Amino acid sequence: MLRIEVWNKPGFPDPRAEGLKKDISDLGISSIEHIDISNVYSLTGDLSQDDADRICKEVLVDPIVQDYRSEMTTGTPKRVNGFSVEVAYNPGVMDPIEFSLKKAITDLGIDNVNTIKTGNKYVLRGNVSEDNLQSIVNKLLLNPVIQHVVTSEEHRDADAHDCEFELTTVDLIGISDDELESIGSHKLSLNLEEMKRIQQFFTSIGRNPTDAELETLAQTWSEHCGHKTFKGKITLGDTVVDNLLKSTIAKATKELDKPWCLSVFVDNAGVIDFDGEYALCFKVETHNHPSAIEPYGGASTGIGGVIRDPLGTGLGAKPILNTDVFCFGTPDYPHEKLPSGTLHPRRIFKGVRAGVADYGNRMGIPTSNGAILFDDRYVGNPLVYCGTLGIMPSNIAKAGQQKPGDKVVLLGGKTGRDGIHGVTFASVDLTQESEDTSASSVQIGNPITEKKMLDAILKARDQGLFRRITDCGGGGLSSAIGEMAEETGVKVYLEQVPLKYSGLSYTEIWISEAQERMIVAVPPEYVQQLLDLCEAENTESTVIGEFTDTKRLELFYDGQQVCDLEMDFLHNGTPQVKREAIWEQPQHPEPDFDSPENLTNDLLNILGSWNVCSKEWVIRQYDHEVQGGSVLKPLVGVNEDGPGDATIVTPRLGSKKGAIVSNGVNPKYGDIDPYWMAASAIDEALRQIIAVGGSLERVALLDNFSWGNPTKPDRLGALVRAAQACHDLSLSYGAPFISGKDSLFNEYEVEGETICIPHTLLISAVAVMQDVSKAVSMDAKKEGDLIYIVGLTYNELGGSHYYSNHGFIGNTVPKVDAVKSKKAMDALSSATQQGLIAACHDCSEGGIGVAAAEMAFAGNLGISIKLDFVPLGEKIDRNDYILFSESNSRFLVEVKPENKDAFEKAMDVTDFAIIGEVTGSGTLTVSGIDNRQVIWATVEELKEAWQKPLRW
């Protein structure tokens, strides 16, 4: 074996080592003096010394800043001074560098390398106890789910054994309910009723199922793929909801019947018309459970997966923007309180951020929208929402249809044992043992495989080489081909599927969730052309079957049939789920403290809270400029560091037409009433669109529910209420939902106690903007300009940051009067169209106080406001409540004095008032209803409070 170590020369500090040192000191260990990190490569094969030298000098080592050692060895790492640990990937875990390195070595003309393994060696110097070293290894250097410490005899030679074909059947006919239940709950996540239905079916055809048939049914009927809860029959009090999706969210879309909705709820993403010639395609997904146990891999495959949704919609959309919303435990969560088997929130945060950034950046898709929320109920079950906006010619917006005889072509990555049982894993609660039992569900992404496939697909699409496309996501080939072939039937030859390594059984091939794969239906006459095109783009493509007209799912392995299922039973055989729901509004204690005389500290605390504080550390590590379309960036203002409300891109360079993307999410309100949480999220997403200069004329919404276990009636009751709000608000605003996704079972057990995440509904919105040159940013622009508030302020601090700051939740959750709100939004849109608005910021977390502070420091200008002038919807006699109320449908608007009359005329139909002005003082001053000053703070100190927490 050839072992090569590469490290930085003295004088060229390794930034990775500096970062690690900081992470170690975050653990409270301060005695590490020095860290060296080396990249380790182990190559097997018949390599000469000359080959080894060339590989080092021409590929692995940068001669200016790096040094190396290469040796032929039996594998035992050398002893060094200090504590040394080497970490490598576990067998079977995808290692992108391995693939790239193989190519680079082949390019050198060296083609006798057999295997390549990579790893990292850490040498830590300093006076550190053995306990602390173990803690560093376990908490920072290694995730046992994907990595191991190399001891000796390593690197372990992975995976290389052959699989002897053996047809496996499962005895179901005639067995007892207990036995059925046991088979169903073990790995399949099927309940007794479903297992009985399967037993009945196979009894009627007189044979037992094969393992592949059973797995296919389990995946197709899983909550993840089948959305059993949303399609089920739910009893809530006196009402029975038959199919929650169709009777709420999709119902509103149907009633609105917008002609610009081109494809809704039927394909991998929703599609709306953009400019007559092109269409926008939008989807958001979650990847929660995988991110909990392996944050980097889970998040990167989350973004990788959702990118394939627009690509797999219609005949394929080009991804143009990513949006990411994360929910974690607080970064300062005490290590000693951490449930066993759980990674610390800070580590999850860093891993997720890196996974999303590395994947999105490599794909060349700007990540320019998102949010990050913190609540300690997410400690054991973080949420990772990833979304992608795409663009495609509008004449191919609708899903295609294959014909019998069309070939099934698999594109992209090879298949390995990664991600087996991912969807069934997503359809149960996490337990302490999840980390152990679900390791095979973890996937690592390889963005370049996906990028190559993307390039090839868009070319093939433009040449009209395929009739239909879908992505391999949860459930792998089983879901992709099973769903695609529902109307026709299909034969698949599993031995044709290209594998990463030998040894996979036919069932593993069929259900593997290996990443970066898509399926296209190709007319036989175009097959060769498609294969040639893929080869020219360095992407793998393989014919693995053909569509039939039998309406059967038939799988073969080396000529033997391993699955023969009727499509009708597969897709319609599942019994409708019946569930009980209850809903009772919880009663939280009402706050009993007096309004503080001075509210400056409260404002600084809210600005510096994890939820509100600046996310610049994350945003700058995303490429939000690639593709060149960015018009309004996530960070705006005089120093380009203020919090923009929504992002605007021009998907077609040179055109003035833009797409606005925003999101609304506030799980705190769900602790009081999920109906108003959902309503608030919708209002917030729409407010942001209006704030940047958009209009409600063409806005489409996505719903993403991350919820607790829906078999528990209180969780389900909350879900029903939230879905009802989606229906009601969608109708009132005229903003249809076009797609969505639910991730249920987000609960985890800690020492016998079940913790449920806060019910979290993410609303994502996309709007078409006619002329991006009308866009407005939130930063204060000029001294002397007037500050208006639009919308009424109510005593609505339930779930607010202000209450939370004082240890209360309260009950007065913000509500939405959508009819009134829509009027105000329409008026504001018309004012921006007329160029009357200099700056606009929506009031959300922290109310008027936070909005005014953010406008001031983003513009590096002062603002002075009087609470006495704030128009109220009900009597409020406290300064703190007026300043920090989180009432919906409100905006702070900056208007030049010369536009005063025109602006007021445009806003005539709604509630608004001048509450202050932009000043040159460099301070935010707020005087209360009694004319006493309640806030006086410099913009520097406000900004510092806001930036400090996440300046990592």
> Mind giving me the DSSP string for 542-555?
EEEEEE-SS-EEEE
Q: How many residues does the chain have?
A: 952
In terms of CB distance, is 56 or 480 closer to another protein?
56
Gap between the Cα atoms of 152 and 24, Å rounded:
26
| 496 lies in the binding site for another protein (CB under 8 A) | no
* Strand 367-374, strand 318-328: pairing: parallel
Q: Which of 12, 203, 585, 932 binds another protein (CB under 8 A)?
A: 12
148 catalytic per annotation: no
Is residue 391 at the binding interface for another protein, with CB under 8 A as the rule? no
Q: Which residue, 264 or 619, has its beta carbon nearer to another protein?
A: 619
User: Is 622 among the residues that bind another protein (CB under 8 A)?
Assistant: yes
Q: How far apart are CA 632 and CA 660, in angstroms?
A: 9
Site string for another protein, 652-691 (x = CB under 8 A): -xx-------------------------------------
Stretch that binds another protein, among 635-643, 714-722, 921-929, 935-943 (CB under 8 A): 635-643
784 touches another protein by CB under 8 A = no
- What ranges in 547-670 are assigned the alpha helix state H? 567-572, 600-607, 616-619, 667-670
Among 189, 479, 600, 627, binds another protein (CB under 8 A): 627
Cβ(513)–Cβ(473) below 8 Å: yes
Using CB under 8 A as the binding rule, whether residue 62 contacts another protein is answered as yes
Cα–Cα dist 37/16, whole Å: 8
Interface with another protein, residue 950, by CB under 8 A: no
Using the rule CB under 8 A, is 462 a contact of another protein? no
Q: What are phi and psi of 419, to 5 degrees?
A: 70, 30
Indicate whether 518 belongs to the interface with another protein (CB under 8 A). no
Q: Shortest Cβ distance from residue 297 to another protein (Å)?
A: 15
With CB under 8 A as the contact rule, the residue among 27, 59, 439, 543 that binds another protein is 59
Rg of the chain on CA atoms, in Å:
29
How far apart, in whole angstroms, are the C-alpha atoms of residue 41 and residue 50? 17
CA distance 116 to 95: 10
Q: Is 479 in the site for another protein (CB under 8 A)?
A: no
Q: Kindly state whether residue 633 participates in binding another protein, applying the rule CB under 8 A.
A: yes
How far apart are alpha carbons 929 and 745 in whole angstroms? Answer: 47
- Bridge partners (DSSP) of residue 578 are 233
Instruction: Please state, in angstroms and rounded to a whole number, the distance separating the CA atoms of residues 136 and 335.
Output: 13
* 776 binds another protein, rule: CB under 8 A: yes
Is residue 896 at the binding interface for another protein, with CB under 8 A as the rule?
no
Q: Please, are residues 480 and 473 in contact by the beta-carbon 8 Å criterion?
A: yes
CA distance 137 to 386: 30
Compute the least distance from the CB of residue 574 to another protein, in Å. Answer: 41
CB under 8 A: which stretch of 228-236, 330-338, 769-777, 847-855 binds another protein? 769-777
**Footprint (CB under 8 A) of another protein, residues 97-156:** 97, 99-101, 103-104, 107-109
Q: List all residues 6 or more positions away from 576 whose beta carbon is below 8 Å from its beta carbon.
A: 231, 232, 233
For residue 326, list its beta bridge partners.
372, 384
- Shortest reach from residue 85's CB to another protein, in Å: 21
Beta-strand pair 839-842/737-743: unpaired
Site string for another protein, 29-48 (x = CB under 8 A): --------------------
Distances (CA, A) of 142 to 90, 194, 343, 441: 11, 40, 11, 18
Q: Check binding of 463 to another protein (CB under 8 A).
A: no
Compare residues 651 and 798 and give the one whose CB is closer to another protein. Answer: 651
Does position 460 bind another protein by CB under 8 A? no
Based on the residue annotation, tell me whether 624 is a catalytic residue of this protein.
no
Query: Does position 529 bind another protein by CB under 8 A?
Result: no
Q: Judged by CB under 8 A, which of 859, 862, 916, 928 binds another protein?
A: 859
* 698 token code pair: 């063409």
Which residue in 52, 534, 631, 765 binds another protein (CB under 8 A)? Answer: 631
CB-count burial class (<10 Å; 0-12, 13-18, 19+) for 71: exposed
Q: Name the catalytic one among 224, 421, 759, 801.
A: 224
The minimum distance between CB 589 and another protein, in angstroms, equals 44
**Span of 96-104, 589-597, 701-709, 913-921 interacting with another protein by CB under 8 A:** 96-104
Q: Token match 């500050």: residue?
A: 787
Min dist. Cβ of residue 99 to another protein (A):
8
- Ramachandran sector of residue 358 (left: φ over 0; alpha: ψ -120 to 50; beta: rest): alpha
Closest contact distance (angstroms) between CB of 855 and another protein is 12
Catalytic positions, written as ranges: 224, 287
Q: What is the contact surface with another protein in residues (CB under 8 A)?
A: 12, 14-16, 18-19, 57-60, 62-65, 96-97, 99-101, 103-104, 107-109, 357, 361-364, 446-448, 451-452, 455, 536-538, 619-628, 630-633, 635-638, 640, 650, 653-654, 772-773, 775-777, 779, 781, 859
